[in-house]
């Protein structure tokens, strides 16, 4: 599963003085769901548009399915939902897809197969204008699926959906990946995609800050401690875990960036130092927390740095 489906090397796009995408180098491998994450305006859509050959890079290179973006062979094997697909409101979902299958010289049955993949067969005969937002997004994914592409590129596929719609979309994406399709999706809602992505690339201000698995990016688990007096607890925690790994949280709790295996030793040391221990619990940091940290510091290596404090309860 290590075949490379997408690579970029120092991919850059400038608009006048503004650098929208700044030397981004990323890799998407076959069969994975890759989350391209970043806040609004970070450069996600611009990167995806370069990958699809919709705009030209200012410098740097990209390869998609071993082709240059925009080459007919790359277009055939990659389906995308990147801009409003522009469905006809009075045509049914099925007929909208048929307009596309005819343009792509595919059979009408490809439209039915795509409707089926996104679970819209039952409503396929209804006019597009009667669809909910979630159904419209699903039809957009169905359009991207026409021709059974190897790679799906989806720009913010959960955007604007309610929680149930998001859950449906997530389920659909996992299912697609289960069928061997590689999925590259962008999102600014990290919590929404962390459960479905195999790997993520985090972009901020046009620069790729980090690229790794969700587990790696979250780093090790944290230990939350409430003990009194807090200054005693703080001193004990810093002695055992090191100053940089200890964060004083609001409400005089402590967060320690240590593995769960450290829990018994730290609890014993607190008690030995005469502290009253009210609570000790381990928890994994969410991608959301880590994301705030690394986009604030601009450096993944600093992801446990003290900037975390302002985002913690």
Ligand X SMILES: Nc1ncnc2c1ncn2[C@@H]1O[C@H](COP(=O)(O)OP(=O)(O)OP(=O)(O)O)[C@@H](O)[C@H]1O
Give the interface with ligand X as residue ranges (CB under 6 A).
Answer: 15, 18, 20, 38, 40-46, 188
Structure tokens at 312: 């913690």
Q: Going by C-beta distance under 8 Å and a sequence separation of 6 or more, which residues neighbour residue 292?
A: 307, 308, 311
Which residue, 45 or 181, has its beta carbon nearer to ligand X? 45
* Beta-bridge partner residues of 280: 225
Report the nearest approach of ligand X to the CB of residue 186 (Å).
7
Q: Per-residue b/e over 48-87, b at no fewer than 16 CB within 10 Å?
A: bbbbbbebebeebebbbbebebbeeebbebbbbbbeebeb
Which residue, 15 or 90, has its beta carbon nearer to ligand X? 15
Which residue, 41 or 242, has its beta carbon nearer to ligand X? 41
How many Cβ atoms are within 10 Å of 9's Cβ, its own excluded? 14
Report the nearest approach of ligand X to the CB of residue 16 (Å).
7
Report the nearest approach of ligand X to the CB of residue 269 (Å).
45
Chain position carrying tokens 């522009």? 86
* Beta-bridge partner residues of 187: 37
Q: Going by C-beta distance under 8 Å and a sequence separation of 6 or more, which residues neighbour residue 116?
A: none
Chain position carrying tokens 């039952």? 122
Nearest in space to 187 (alpha carbons), one of 201, 205, 206, 168:
201
Which residue, 46 or 158, has its beta carbon nearer to ligand X? 46
Which residue, 40 or 109, has its beta carbon nearer to ligand X? 40
Give the Cα separation of 300 and 15 in Å (integer).
27
Which residue, 187 or 194, has its beta carbon nearer to ligand X? 187
Which residue, 82 or 245, has its beta carbon nearer to ligand X? 82
How many Cβ atoms are within 10 Å of 141's Cβ, its own excluded? 23
Q: Where are the beta strands (DSSP E) in the chain?
A: 4-15, 18-24, 27-29, 33-37, 59-64, 78-81, 151-155, 182-187, 199-204, 207-213, 222-228, 246-248, 254-256, 276-283
For 65-82, the three-class secondary structure string (H helix, E strand, C coil) is CCECCCCHHHHHHEEEEC
Report the nearest approach of ligand X to the CB of residue 83 (Å).
11
Which residue, 41 or 180, has its beta carbon nearer to ligand X? 41
Report the nearest approach of ligand X to the CB of residue 177 (Å).
22
Report the nearest approach of ligand X to the CB of residue 49 (Å).
8
Report the nearest approach of ligand X to the CB of residue 41 (Å).
4
* Beta-bridge partner residues of 64: 6, 67
Which residue, 44 or 123, has its beta carbon nearer to ligand X? 44
Report the nearest approach of ligand X to the CB of residue 140 (Å).
16
Report the nearest approach of ligand X to the CB of residue 251 (Å).
34
- C-beta of residue 157 within 8 angstroms of C-beta of residue 173: yes
């Amino acid at each position: 599963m290590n075949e490379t489906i997408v690579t970029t090397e120092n991919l850059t796009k400038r608009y006048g003085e503004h650098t929208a995408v700044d030397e981004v180098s990323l890799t998407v491998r076959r069969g994975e769901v890759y989350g391209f994450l970043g806040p609004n305006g970070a450069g996600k859509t611009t990167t995806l548009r370069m990958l699809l050959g919709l705009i030209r890079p200012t410098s740097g290179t990209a390869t998609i399915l071993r082709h240059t973006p925009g080459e007919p062979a790359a277009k055939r094997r990659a389906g995308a939902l990147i801009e409003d697909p522009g469905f006809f409101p009075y045509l049914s979902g099925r007929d909208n897809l048929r307009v596309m299958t005819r343009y792509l010289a595919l059979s009408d049955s490809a439209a039915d197969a795509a409707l089926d993949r996104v679970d819209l067969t039952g409503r396929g005969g209804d006019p597009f204008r009667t669809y909910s937002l979630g159904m419209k997004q699903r039809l957009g994914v169905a359009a991207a699926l026409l021709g059974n592409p190897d790679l799906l590129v989806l720009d913010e596929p959960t955007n604007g959906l309610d929680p149930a719609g998001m859950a449906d979309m997530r389920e659909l994406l996992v299912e697609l990946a289960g069928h061997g399709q590689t999925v590259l999706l962008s999102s600014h809602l990290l919590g929404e995609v962390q459960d479905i992505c195999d790997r993520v690339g985090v972009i901020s201000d046009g620069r790729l800050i980090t690229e790794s698995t969700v587990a790696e990016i979250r780093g090790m688990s944290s230990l939350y401690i409430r003990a009194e007096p807090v200054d005693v607890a703080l001193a004990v925690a810093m002695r055992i875990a090191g100053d940089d790994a200890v964060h004083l949280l609001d409400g005089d709790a402590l967060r320690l960036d240590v593995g769960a295996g450290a829990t018994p030793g730290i609890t014993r040391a607190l008690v030995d130092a005469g502290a009253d221990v009210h609570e000790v619990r381990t928890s994994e940091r969410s991608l959301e927390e880590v994301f705030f940290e690394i986009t604030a510091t601009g450096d993944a290596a600093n992801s446990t740095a003290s900037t975390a404090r302002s985002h913690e309860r």
